[in-house]
Amino acid sequence: MTQALESTPTPLTRLPTGVPGLDVVLGGGLFRGGIYIVSGTPGAGKTILGNQIASHFVRDAKSRALYVTLLAETHGRMLSHLQTLRFFDPASVGNTLKYVNGFTTIESEGLAGLLKLIREGVRTQRASLLILDGMLTAGLLARSEVDYKKFIHELQTWVSVLGCTVLFLTSAVAVDSATPEHTMVDGIIELQVRRTGMRALRELRVTKFRASSFLEGVHPYKISAEGLSVFPRIEASLVPKAVDRPSAERISIGCQALDGILGGGLRTGSTTLLIGSSGAGKTLLALQFLAAGVEAGERVLHFGFFETPPELVSKAQRFGWDIGRTDDEQRIFSVWQPASELVLDELAYRLLDAVRASGAKRLVIDGLVGFKEAAYKDRMSGLFASVADELAALGVTTLITGDARAVRAYHRGTDERRFGRVPQHHLSATGRERLGAAAAAHRDEDARQRA
């Protein structure tokens, strides 16, 4: 008679990577003791990502890391490049973060010698993170596929006992998912640079991640002086909120006559698109909307692409609107960026972060064109639906300005020269009658002038 052995599985421990946005994609970070592949073509940012994660481990997680290179590039050259990145701390090198060159060892002693070098290095360093940079070299120098698979299996067994997390950095593109390293590891992260027109878009994709759900599909990322930053696709990362939007409560748009047309103003939590040709007064009405909020004691936010914050304050002051400081408390916040070389998801996160940080209840997005000119503009509809839902959940009333020519394909057959287009579901019956009468009177006046 046999008796089944029962064992209680050890709970998995998450390890944050410290890379902005990556932990959101991974569902919380890497798992302790797991082995992960980071693949991508040269220049995709694999070495930067590996060093950024290692720097986070030794700085914030108070752990120790071992970085083994299987490349002919010297450590001095690599470290000189890393010093231009803000996350890198030279003081950690040789202390909590140790670099070892394994190229000579694998060239002379093969995978067995490399495994011995890694074991000794991890023990001596007491490392909880191991990074092997250049796994393509290990695969090319392996005597056979069986030897390569055996190397990965022995390494996997050994590090799981120690609880050491491993990253394989490789230039091999994961075309064949049946290769030994892809079938045996716990997760695969792919980095790619895609050319579109004259632009180059960086995209991250997780194709495998054991023991956890993750955000599938493509996610934009960028490399800057801060290192690598990932922007999880907005539609996938924002959880829909069960809110009633817009509410029945209304707030003034800042113009009494227009409030009357709108039946009392804009509904709280609504998103309204204000369309007009250049010089029609869109930004001016938007500033009136913000000034009304400041007067009511609210915090407001201007998110724009054209006029800088000093220019906006100067314009408002010429009309007698104080959108500066009131009672030593900052009421108005402004975020400005040029409308060029932007990514749609990056813009959306910048917008939502600014709203949360400021606590604003009124928001002006001054220039829909800034989003329309960003990369992935074919996702505008779905992205704005997710963002509008999030803003409504935060209790923010939003006014978006847009050039008439830029959105004519979506809105046809309405006179846009003087009257901002207002979504019909925001108008009361009386408001619709007044708006229709005003537009009709304007058309009659134009007809008489032409006659």
147-206 confidence digits (pLDDT tens): 898 999 999 899 888 999 999 999 876 545 557 678 889 999 999 999 988 899 999 999
Can you give the residue range of the structural domain that contains 97? 14-232
Together in a domain, 180 and 32:
yes
Q: Is 243 contained in some domain? A: no
Cβ-contact 300, 294 below 8 angstroms:
yes
End-to-end CA distance of the chain: 106
Cβ-contact 264, 391 below 8 angstroms:
no
Domain end position, chosen among 232, 260, 282: 232
pLDDT, tens digit, 9 for 90 and up, residues 270-279: 999 998 888 8
Q: Is 278 contained in some domain? A: yes
Q: What CATH number corresponds to the domain at position 327?
A: 3.40.50.300
pLDDT, tens digit, 9 for 90 and up, residues 283-333: 889 999 999 999 899 999 999 998 888 888 788 888 777 665 544 468 889
Together in a domain, 137 and 261:
no
User: What is the widest separation between alpha-carbon atoms in the chain?
Assistant: 106
pLDDT, tens digit, 9 for 90 and up, residues 33-68: 999 999 999 999 999 999 999 999 999 988 999 999
Q: Is 245 contained in some domain? A: no
Cβ-contact 27, 212 below 8 angstroms:
yes
Residue 437 tokens read as 């009468």
Together in a domain, 432 and 305:
yes
Together in a domain, 206 and 272:
no
pLDDT given at position 445: 59
pLDDT given at position 143: 85
Question: 435 pLDDT exceeds 60?
Answer: no
Together in a domain, 258 and 227:
no
Domain count, the chain: 2
Domain end position, chosen among 232, 262, 290: 232
